[in-house]
Structure 1
Amino acid sequence: MNLLFRIRAGVLLLAALLAGCATSQAPSNSVANAQLTPATKITRDLLRLPEPKGKVVAAVYAFRDQTGQYKPSPDSSFSTAVTQGAASLLVKALKDSGWFTPVERENLQDLLTERKIVRALETPQDKNAQANINLPPLMPATVLIEGGIVAYESNVRTGGAGARYLGVGGKTQYRVDQVTVNLRSIDIRTGQILNSVSTTKTIYSYELSTGVFRFVNFKELLEMEAGYTRNEPSQLCVREAMEAAVVHLVVQGLKDKVWALKNQADKNSPILQAYLKESNEYLSQVENDTHASKTASEPPATVEPNPIATTRE
């Protein structure tokens, strides 16, 4: 009888420990107040960029989802895998950088309608009276920002581990998705593409679960389960990739002398140097890979026989 009691007590203690490990991170408060969207490391870099010599007036007409990806079943067969409001995220990233002055173009018709209403209200009823309408002209853009979400790859990497002994055990699983964003700046006077940047962000999800399924007696079954799952929000990952693209766009523009710094000493800024180093390492890796593939594709050299060398018996 004591042995049976000890077995029950040991199983219950082990189950409690497994459940405690699985629920070590309490779920977020469901009644928490709304707050500003959490900042990422790229957001902080974006806000700490050095001042430009002059802000660039930029127009964003659309930033479309070009992936065509939908959420996997059974979650949804009609909901898209990535956000459809990427243009709004891009406008915010451009403004937060301090290098661009975004102008409204996505809902330009709404703006024009409101301006017509203002003119109609300020026009005097008396036809002989002089109208006094002081609406300033719309600000023209000098640069057009285009691009889109060009790729969303699911299950780029998956894996996990688990163990179970006598009905007691646990397992963990993870999944890695990937989203790619392309951003380019265009000179509206000539249509020339000034710079083009592609950035990639991984979306990490993991699950930890434990359970007990064991007969502690002939007719007594103990069953207990606990688990924890965490998924990176895809819209925040799209935002981070977009912010990284804006920073790289600024750095490439400085490198190509498309725009300039207010203080030339800021070219040694740690943020600019870090992103410039990343860009140089990327170009160096591409050149090395290209050289390696070209060398591998070349046919091996053949040794031609010497016609002068003859053998005599």
Structure 2
Amino acid sequence: MNRSAVRATLALASVAALTLGGCAVAPESVSSNATLTPPTRITRDLVHLPPPKGRVLAAVYGFRDLTGQYKPSPDSSFSSQVTQGGASFLVASMRDSGWFTPVERENLQDLLTERKIMRALETPDDKNRAIPQIGALAPASVILEGGIVAYDSNVRTGGAGVGYLGISGSQQYRVDQVTVNLRTVDIRNGQILNSVSTTKTIYSYQVDIGVYKFVGFKDLLQAEAGLTRNEPAQLCVKEAIESAVVHLIVQGLKNQTWALKDDKDWYDPTLQRYLQEDHRYAAEMDKLDTPYDPTRIDKAKSSTGS
């Protein structure tokens, strides 16, 4: 191959490498408009639950981060690993379900301050009659408590790579997990009516390809491209909270804490899917309660003929 052909090959390879690199670095538009947070599969299940016999007035005083996890260096030594807005996600999920009517409690002091301001602006004539604009605060029937109880990093990692004649490719992945706990408390006696924990897996992966090859006596071709994808942790927390709300509603139906508007909705496909998941969980718990039998191994060996 003469020198002009080698140079032409290098030029084409460089253009190809830059094209691949540009696609890997910016697969989407650099700028975009703000949009509504995309719904998940759990969000669709949440809004398609059958209607209740009556909405439950519920209060949320907070849904805190109880993990104590911080982002690893060099990202930040003081930034938490998970979002601190769990209460906002929980209130939104409660409203989307159609089963709860949330009342403001997290920023109750702000609400009381505004009510005091309205009372202070009343005229003497207004004080002699009831003002419809300011009614009594609605008391809650139940309190939803809980929090983000765990964030486990590098639950599972792995990868694979191959190289041949200066051409190589590799893939790596990492699995994290976030766990939330949610419970309902009866305000009349403080009894915990239902409690549920849900876990969401967070996936991250990285793909790299590279070329390192001599195309001539003194001409070296080197090209690299890569792609990394990480699931947003806050959206995974949102999905785990939504799943906890659905399971909490299902548990309440089983325990007759609340009821359906129409008893025929018990056979609703969405409701039945979560009931089956709850039954599988109960079956796994029954296996853990099985007493230990010291002759179990000997019985298993004799049944296999070993």
TM-score clears 0.5: yes
Q: Residue by residue, what CA displacement relative to the aligned partner does 1:28-69 show, whole Å, maximum 9, x if unpaired?
A: 323211110000000000000000000000000000000000
Secondary structure of 2:292's partner? Answer: helix
Secondary structure at 2:242's aligned position in 1?
helix
Instruction: Describe the superposition over 1:150-177 as per-residue Cα deviations: whole angstroms up to 9, x where unpaired.
Output: 0000000111111122322111111000
- The separation in 1 between residues aligned to 2:17 and 2:206, in whole angstroms, is 18
Q: 1:261 to 1:32 in 2, by over 3 A?
A: same
1:54 aligns with 2:54: yes
Report the counterpart of residue 271 of structure 1 in structure 2: 270
Give the corresponding residue for 1:133: 131
CA distance in 2: counterparts of 1:28 and 1:117, whole angstroms: 49
1:71 aligned partner: 71
Equivalent residues, number: 298
**2:32 is aligned with 1:32:** yes
For 1:162, the equivalent position in structure 2 comes to 161
Aligned to 1:83: 83
Partner of 2:216 in structure 1?
217
Report the TM-score when normalising by structure 2.
0.88
Determine which structure has more spread, i.e. the larger CA radius of gyration: 1
Quickly say closer, same or farther: Cα 1:22–1:184, change in 2 above 3 A: farther
Q: State the AA in 2 paired with 1:86.
A: G
Q: What CA distance in whole angstroms lies between the structure 2 residues aligned with 1:19 and 1:207?
A: 19
**CA deviation string 1:239-293 (max 9, x = no partner):** 00000000000000000000000000000000110000000001101212331x6
Cα contact 1:154–1:176 (8 A) shared by 2: yes
Change (3 A) 1:167 1:8: farther
Structure 2 segments unaligned to the other structure (5+ residues)? 300-306
Residue of structure 2 in register with 1:197 after alignment = 196
Moved segments of 4+, more than 3 Å: 2-26, 129-134, 296-301
Counterpart in the other structure of 1:112: 112
1:288 pairs with 2:287: yes
TM-score if structure 1 supplies the norm length?
0.86
Q: Cα RMSD over matched residues?
A: 3.0
Post-superposition CA distance 1:160-196 (Å, at most 9, x none):
1111223221111110000000000000001000000
| Identical residues among aligned pairs (%) | 61
- Please list the CA deviations of residues 194-224 of structure 1 after superposition, one character each: whole Å capped at 9, or x if unmatched: 0000000000011111112233334322221
Does the 8 A contact of 1:183 with 1:245 survive in 2? yes
Deviation at 1:74, TM superposition (A): 1.8
Q: Distance in 2 between matches of 1:110 and 1:204?
A: 39
Distance 1:148 1:297 in 2: 43
